[in-house]
Amino acid sequence: MSVAIPPRPPIKSTEVFKKDIFEGKVLFCTGGPSGICKAMTKSIMSHGADAIIIGRKVDKGEAAAKELSNATGQRCVFAQADVREPEQLKAAAKKCIDTFGKIDFVICGAAGNFLAPISGLSENAFATVVRIDTLGTFNTIKATLPHVRRTRGSYIHVSATLHYYGTPYQAHVSAAKAGVDALSNVLAVEEGPRGVRSNVIAPGPILGTEGMDRLTPVGKKDAITRSVPLQRQGGLDDVPNTAVFLFSEAANWVTGQIIAVDGGAMHTNKGSLPYPDSVLDPEGATKSIRAKM
């Protein structure tokens, strides 16, 4: 009888990297008040950086900034901005410069998503996700690049693995994230001679995130876990560990890369979303399935 080998648990970056590797550095993070981006911000700050987090909701953002400051002992401030609005992002970048004097690292992480088949997806809904994810990434680059050039800094763009295979009900975000990947690659080539690096992190199934809570089909979490070669879903420390590496000097010759942080799931995923009978009406027309999934 074979004995099951338990998966390796997530570990914190402070157990691997020196705590002061980002001392004196400044992080600019869109989507920072919550989820994976908040976790990445916390890890970067835990290694000595100060940060500004950008979001639309003031109460949520200010609470997150206070929490991150208290947890790490570093300074974190909040700037209200919608990534779809270039002038608001420029104002956020100015606030960062006025507060900290520079920008070393940028995480482009603002995103939007829901479940809907192409036949039930409106043009406006599709465009909204593209505006948040792809155009929002472009706007963030434009607002921060003059400052990042001065520090010879680095970008991390948060993508996904959905568009590496045909994921049903995710045409909008798949198209948007493919654009994010392309922007990062071009940025790496154009800005490399100036010492600026740009990479993509593509998270797989990460527990404790709004995306997994909203998009995982009911009763499918165990099946998803079994399909991951490393036999567990990701934790909120897994993606930040990769971010710490990519921003560190250990990665100073790594740029233009797309790194899937998914336990190998992209190689075994067969489109894990189901085709429930409730999606099809008697005429066979597909309906939106945003709710309950």
Of 159, 174, 184, 227, catalytic: 159
288's tokens: 């939106």
Alpha helices in the chain (DSSP H): 35-46, 58-72, 86-100, 123-130, 136-151, 171-191, 210-215, 221-227, 238-247
CA distances to 149, 189, 260 from 145, rounded to whole Å, are 6, 14, 25
Q: Say if residues 100 and 52 touch (Cβ distance below 8 Å).
A: yes
SS3 category, 12: coil
34's tokens: 């919550």
How many angstroms separate the CA atoms of 104 and 152, rounded? 7
Q: Is 177 a catalytic residue?
A: yes
How many angstroms separate the CA atoms of 156 and 154, rounded? 7
Residues paired with 199 in a beta bridge = 156
How many angstroms separate the CA atoms of 76 and 28, rounded? 10
Closest among 209, 257, 246, 207 to 228, alpha carbons compared: 207
Of 38, 95, 177, 198, catalytic: 177
Annotated catalytic sites, by residue? 159, 177
